[in-house]
Structure 1
């Protein structure tokens, strides 16, 4: 096999990990399992029965409706606090994990371990029946999977430097993101056709009882992730240890981490400020996904089926965006791609805010336009950091990248909530997301 062919086999194997594990982000955290945990299945049966007796969704304001809405808010709050705790764990551990895998030459090993825990947690989610007594176990599994998924991404992102050159990094980074989006389209399509559309029974005789069809979707995501994660471990070699004699103690790792941050400020000011700016705008990007479903249904009136169809369409548009931006990245540079993408996101977000009362068509057009810019901003951020990362410290820098993103993870939710209260409707939250994205853009310039 020619060297070029061998190298591109490594690239494809690396990108297939994103293709496979996109099932976790699409199915588990965004559109299916997380929403399942804050659904009627987990509301106290007495409260649910009183609400349904009062007329359900058409119920007039009163004690039954207030109790039902308070129950849903309580589920959402507990889920949010659990994920916040997971985010704090990532913030503390991510840079040290990256540093230690760089030093010891165990990047692929830890990618395998972290991926394995995520997949095991997804398999376990199948047993979270739609009953209130399973809620705690559900949020524990979701939080655990989120933490290890972030840890896996530290190793996966750092691996980009093993399979690319400075000339090809943008294209390869974009290819990886694009494969992730396309993988999400396929797995969401299978989930929609196999287990969501209609009233059932679905594939393999699955029904809706106790949320079985939702749990089957998560099982599908687990199998999907497991199968497509395998190639990277066969095709991409382990990284070379950058400092095999480095102290192995946790405290020693943190001492080195703080020295690295100080060194970045004094010797690599561009990297330091990029980490700061990207933390802000990446939280805005996360808000696009975290609150997109809420806005789609509460403001623009999309049904559950329409939301999954929109999810598939948005993944397609975002995937096309990152494939095209990969070439732009190598041509004009990643920073220009990021700036252009953020400008596009701010403008389309303002359109959604201004026309929030004009129905689903506005969300479809402006929402898809936003997704066109999200992928390039993500992919070029990874590529830009890859250009800035010192040789032998890639995992540590990508760990810091994960940490800085988590360090301000409260920013978009807080701004979203503030604007909802200020404007008196969920549509005001759109302006909150736009404000965070615009702040990150200004910091980047």
Structure 2
């Protein structure tokens, strides 16, 4: 990554004015994505989520519905909390204290997933659902503050590159975490050996699904270690001197004012609404893709891990390419191309069943004990999964760059709070709609098909958005 520095180029200013951050500050900011991506790779997508549905609950269809409820209620809480804390942070100036508080809460909650013993979810899944929801809330709030730091670190013309670099190394981090689980922690239930033919580290018992459950504490340790450079090297905004109590009052007043003035930020409002829908679809396909595969193909941790590794490789490549594309053709066009790819991939994924492809074409189902991805259905599902990976990275990276290019500099964290709201205001609706469709039709495919509508509507609304900087309102 080419990184600009204020020392090397004194005339270069950040997107909101002032000097750009030094090289190590920019890289350390990007390492936040490296620190948090194993959570999305191991917990919400490839390892723990399928384990929760198929083994902890013991019924893939019911488990998918319960997972949807946990993420749905978390999304509802985030929708209320994120714009408020973002507005308060703008009053106090500093973002790192908020990041630290969220990080501690996240590590505690995600570590509790170790206690999700096999089969106990059929008796009482609520404690683990609460832990899952709390971890999601803490992580998403932390992301608000990390995103809001971006415009102060680099010039406007380099935000896409830095954002894409962050997502790219994030996917590499998720990939490495998957490799560690697959080759060193997860063992075959029959042989008790890992894919390297060795006993698993820490004597993790495959009969008790300890590798699946250990993904929670592992993610907590990973985040705690790799978030340190951000706190040490990345410059924070200076404190304003506003006391916490006054910041709460002023932040809430400012939030109310911003919401009231959204009619005067109609361009940003339309973008946030569009992003709200397509990002819900994007998040849902990542959250439920592994669960769907575990249900229709019977994939367990080994195959799911390989699936995750392959997707992470392509997602990382897509994120790096998307960052470059963002600076070349703009954030809006990059998002449109990416969301279109997600629409095609999601429809394709939903068309795959245990013994059919493209909804109606019959194929032989996977054979017990066969090599991973040996059936036609698995192979085509893998192709669509790769397309999701390639498209997902650029869509995520360009989305936060788009807002950083549009929001008034003096209201950046506040708008990133609204950005988080746009990603979570209906985030409870997508998982709950998936849960409802899954239960109503007793079909995982029906749940997955719900995602397409969110992507399509969000994609169409993007055509009305102009990519331009808005001016702050002075009353």
TM-score, normalization by structure 1: 0.85
CA distance in 2, matches of 1:212, 1:304: 11
Structure 2 gaps, min length 5: 10-20, 193-198, 352-356, 362-375, 464-475
Q: How does 1:11-90 map to 2 (within 5 A)?
A: 11-41=26-56, 69=59, 77-90=65-78
SS at match of 1:392: helix
SS at match of 1:126: helix
CA distance in 2, matches of 1:415, 1:245: 42
CA distance in 2, matches of 1:29, 1:349: 17
CA distance in 2, matches of 1:436, 1:340: 16
Shift of residue 96, structure 1, vs aligned partner: 1.1
Give the match for residue 332 of structure 1: 329
Give the match for residue 97 of structure 2: 109
Number of aligned positions between the proteins: 417
Give the match for residue 226 of structure 1: 224
Give the match for residue 14 of structure 2: none
More divergent stretch after superposition (239-248 vs 161-170)? 239-248
Change (3 A) 1:255 1:390: same
Change (3 A) 1:2 1:257: closer
CA distance in 2, matches of 1:351, 1:207: 36
Tell me if 1:364 matches 2:367. Answer: no
Shift of residue 134, structure 1, vs aligned partner: 7.5
Give the match for residue 405 of structure 2: 387
CA distance in 2, matches of 1:4, 1:325: 26
Shift of residue 382, structure 1, vs aligned partner: 0.5
Tell me if 1:91 matches 2:79. Answer: yes
SS at match of 2:276: helix
SS at match of 2:246: coil
Q: Is the 8 A contact 2:26 2:153 kept in 1?
A: yes
Give the match for residue 126 of structure 1: 114
TM-score, normalization by structure 2: 0.80
CA distance in 1, matches of 2:293, 2:86: 37
Structure 1 gaps, min length 5: 44-68
Q: How does 1:387-406 map to 2 (within 5 A)?
A: 387-406=405-424
Q: Is the 8 A contact 1:37 1:138 kept in 2?
A: no
Aligned residue among 266, 269, 273 for 1:272: 269
Shift of residue 377, structure 1, vs aligned partner: 0.8
Q: Residues 94-153 of structure 1, C-alpha deviation per residue, up to 9 Å, x if partnerless?
A: 011111112102201111121122123233433444462784432222221111111100
Change (3 A) 1:88 1:307: same
CA distance in 2, matches of 1:82, 1:344: 28
Give the match for residue 49 of structure 1: none
Q: Residues 288-336 of structure 1, C-alpha deviation per residue, up to 9 Å, x if partnerless?
A: 1122113323446645422221111111101111101111111111001
More divergent stretch after superposition (149-158 vs 252-261)? 252-261
Give the match for residue 167 of structure 2: 177
Change (3 A) 1:25 1:264: same
Shift of residue 272, structure 1, vs aligned partner: 0.9
Structure number with the higher helix fraction is 1
Tell me if 1:150 matches 2:137. Answer: no
Change (3 A) 1:135 1:211: farther
Aligned residue among 297, 300, 306 for 2:294: 297
Q: Is the 8 A contact 1:160 1:169 kept in 2?
A: yes
CA distance in 2, matches of 1:219, 1:320: 28
CA distance in 2, matches of 1:8, 1:81: 42
CA distance in 1, matches of 2:430, 2:68: 13
CA distance in 2, matches of 1:429, 1:76: 9
CA distance in 1, matches of 2:241, 2:219: 37
Give the match for residue 436 of structure 1: 454
Q: Is the 8 A contact 1:131 1:210 kept in 2?
A: no
